[in-house]
């Protein structure tokens, strides 16, 4: 039986991908090149350091480790400025309701995000107290598809991996759930997230009945 739901942040609870994209693009432009929204898909769920490596390779630009640290810091300053203006209106449709439904049904809830800025975002959208555990980029050393972020979440909640369902919009996140021995619900397109136990277009499509089916 399912005892806990673990939620990714970007692409599941809020759409911060647009802010990441704007900030990374500004950085690329300052280095004399650009990249498309299509390329941006490859950055979803990927850590800050790895995202920069990918972007620099697209632009054919090479930088020392020290320079890369400065560039990543610059991008983060722009990103943090943008998310400082976020409001609860930016919560994705049905997301808050479904997390509340889970809690009302007695299930534990946790956040499992690659972002080091997740606390700021949760505060801006007023959802900090809807999670029993918050595991993010400040607490993990291995990025998805490694299951570390979700296993730590299960541990903090005091539940077994097989009692958890992970909600993820990124293929690397679904792979992390599978690697951790957890069930998963993909948020997005079945073409991309076919490995998940169930795929829905957004949390507005999710119900406790569907959750029970996933647990069977």
Partners of 134 in beta bridges: 111
Subset of 38-57 contacting ligand G16 (CB under 6 A):
43-48, 51
- Per CB under 5 A, does 112 bind Mg ion? no
Pick between residue 11 and residue 153 the one whose CB is nearest to Mg ion: 11
Task: Assign 3-state DSSP to the chain and report helix, strand, coil percentages, each to 5.
Answer: 50, 15, 35
Inter-CA distances, 203 with 7, 102, 147, 179, 211, Å: 10, 12, 22, 23, 11
| DSSP β-ladder status, 4-7 and 108-112 | parallel
Q: How many CA atoms lie within 13 A of 161 on its CB side?
A: 13
Pick between residue 37 and residue 212 the one whose CB is nearest to ligand G16: 37
Query: Least distance from C-beta 213 to ligand G16, angstroms?
Result: 25
Residues 6+ apart with CB under 8 A from 129: none
Pull the structure tokens for residue 2: 């399912």
- Per CB under 6 A, does 9 bind ligand G16? yes
Among 6, 11, 110, 183, binds ligand G16 (CB under 6 A): 11
Instruction: Indicate which residue of 10, 39, 209, 213 is catalytic.
Output: 10
Q: Does 8 participate in catalysis according to the annotation?
A: yes
Query: Least distance from C-beta 144 to Mg ion, angstroms?
Result: 9
x-or-dash string of contact with Mg ion, 27-46, rule CB under 5 A: ------------------x-
- Per CB under 6 A, does 184 bind ligand G16? no
Query: Least distance from C-beta 10 to Mg ion, angstroms?
Result: 4
Q: How far apart are the first and last CA of the chain?
A: 7
Pick between residue 61 and residue 119 the one whose CB is nearest to ligand G16: 119
40, interface contact from Mg ion, ligand G16, none, CB < 5-8 Å by kind: none
**DSSP output for 158-208:** T--GGGEEEEESSHHHHHHHHHTT-EEEEES-HHHHTTSSEEESSGGG--H
Pick between residue 142 and residue 208 the one whose CB is nearest to ligand G16: 142
Burial profile 92-103: b = 16 or more Cβ within 10 angstroms, e = fewer: bebbbebbebbb
Residues that bind ligand G16 in the complex, under the rule CB under 6 A: 8-11, 20, 43-48, 51, 76, 113-117, 137, 170
Q: Could you give the residue numbers annotated as active site?
A: 8, 10
Binding-site residue set for Mg(2+): 8, 10, 168-169
């Amino acid at each position: 039986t399912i005892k806990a739901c673990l939620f990714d942040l970007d692409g599941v609870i809020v759409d911060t991908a647009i802010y990441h994209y704007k900030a990374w693009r500004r950085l690329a432009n300052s280095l004399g090149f650009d990249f498309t929204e299509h390329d941006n898909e490859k950055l979803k769920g990927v850590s800050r350091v790895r995202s920069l490596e990918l972007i620099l390779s697209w632009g054919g630009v090479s930088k020392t480790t020290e320079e890369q640290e400065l560039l990543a810091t610059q991008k983060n300053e722009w990103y943090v400025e943008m998310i400082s203006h976020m409001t609860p209106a930016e919560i994705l449709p049905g997301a808050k309701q479904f997390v509340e439904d889970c809690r009302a049904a007695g299930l534990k809830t946790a956040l499992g995000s690659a972002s080091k800025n997740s606390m700021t975002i949760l505060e801006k959208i007023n959802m900090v107290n809807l999670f029993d555990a918050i595991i993010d980029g400040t607490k993990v050393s291995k990025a998805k598809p490694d299951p570390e972020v979700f296993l730590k979440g299960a541990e903090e909640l005091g539940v077994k991996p097989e009692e958890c369902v992970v909600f993820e919009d990124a293929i690397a996140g679904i792979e992390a759930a599978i690697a951790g021995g957890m069930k998963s619900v993909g948020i997005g397109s079945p073409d991309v997230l076919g490995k998940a136990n169930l795929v829905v277009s957004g949390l507005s499509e999710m119900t406790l009945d569907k959750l029970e089916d996933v647990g069977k």
